[in-house]
Amino acid sequence: MSERFAVLCPGQGGQHPAMFDLLRADARGEHLLREQGLDVRLGRPPDQILHDPQLLFANRHAQPLIVAAGLAAWRILRDELPAPALVAGYSIGELTAYGVAGALADNDAVDLAVVRAAYMDACLAQAPHQGLMSVGGIESGEVAELLRRHGAFVAIATGFDTLIAGGRSDDLLAAQRELEGLGARTGILPVGIASHTPLMEPALAPFTTALNAVDFRAPACAVLAGISGLEIHDVPSARSTLAQQLTQTIRWSSCMDACAERGVGVALELGPGSALSRMLRERHPHIECRSIPDFRSLAGVVHWLRSRLD
């Protein structure tokens, strides 16, 4: 294990049609993708989903695809790298993180992503027209109070003056108008549910039941709980915090700070996308952090990491 090495597992937003290309360029990756049986789990061929933006960004497809891609990449890399001291996952990436830490079998993690997405989508029956919105440029406490007045919520805390808001679409749009009037930068995200807010309350009990039914093992390395940034080492805490993050704010800024406090010097984001590595570099510039999509091959990822960890 390398005390200096952390793995970051992304959430939704960075998926794209070529997100499996590096894996498919490796014979082991193609085999692992076949093992995952995504066509059966998703009900249609992955390539059909990848090349249709509506399907690709639909919650029911995005969550399992992101977990599957991250875990397949890690399966190839892990035999050639030291074990990480710390793993952190952003939103759905927290399921990936427990797979990386050896607490969940890959296919169990993907199956949990499938049911998690289904239970979250079902919340739209009680509160339709939901979404997420990025906000930047105004102190987060001030934004949180403004959101509260409009009936919206802080879904993900990412920095001193950046966050992701969640809520009903009309409430978010009203908050957006006021925020932009104050000079904030805002953007509606391609996610049709208000993840990590009380609007996900109906999903909590059934997802807890699903978590309790899966064979969970104690993580082989520390996993950071998204709702607090605290290290998780035991199965009950893992199950509990994975369920709680459906309805509670993700404290990603706390997770990044925990990496720095633990002495992490090198971090790898599994992809797709590179949002987590960018945020970590901006918040803690002394940590060298790159994402798998930054490289032309998985061999390049291994070479870079070995040069930093040896």
Phi, psi of 232 (to 5 degrees): -110, 130
Residue 193 belongs to a domain: no
Is residue 80 located within the same domain as residue 209? yes
- Structural domains in the chain (count): 2
Three-state secondary structure call for residue 70:
helix
Percent of the chain with pLDDT over 70: 99
Is residue 118 located within the same domain as residue 219? yes
Q: Report the pLDDT value the prediction gives residue 271, as an integer from 0 to 100.
A: 86
Q: Report the pLDDT value the prediction gives residue 33, as an integer from 0 to 100.
A: 87
Beta carbons of 298 and 26 less than 8 angstroms apart: yes
Query: Which domain, by its residues, includes 154?
Result: 128-188
DSSP state of 198: G
Residue 196, CB half-sphere, CA atoms under 13 Å: how many? 28
Beta carbons of 150 and 165 less than 8 angstroms apart: no
Is residue 233 located within the same domain as residue 262? yes
Band (63; pLDDT cuts 50, 70, 90): very high
Three-state secondary structure call for residue 6:
strand
Average pLDDT over residues 96-118: 98
CATH number at residue 164: 3.30.70.250
Q: What is the pTM of this model?
A: 0.96
CATH number at residue 103: 3.40.366.10
DSSP state of 82: P
Residue 79 belongs to a domain: yes
Q: Report the pLDDT value the prediction gives residue 2, as an integer from 0 to 100.
A: 61
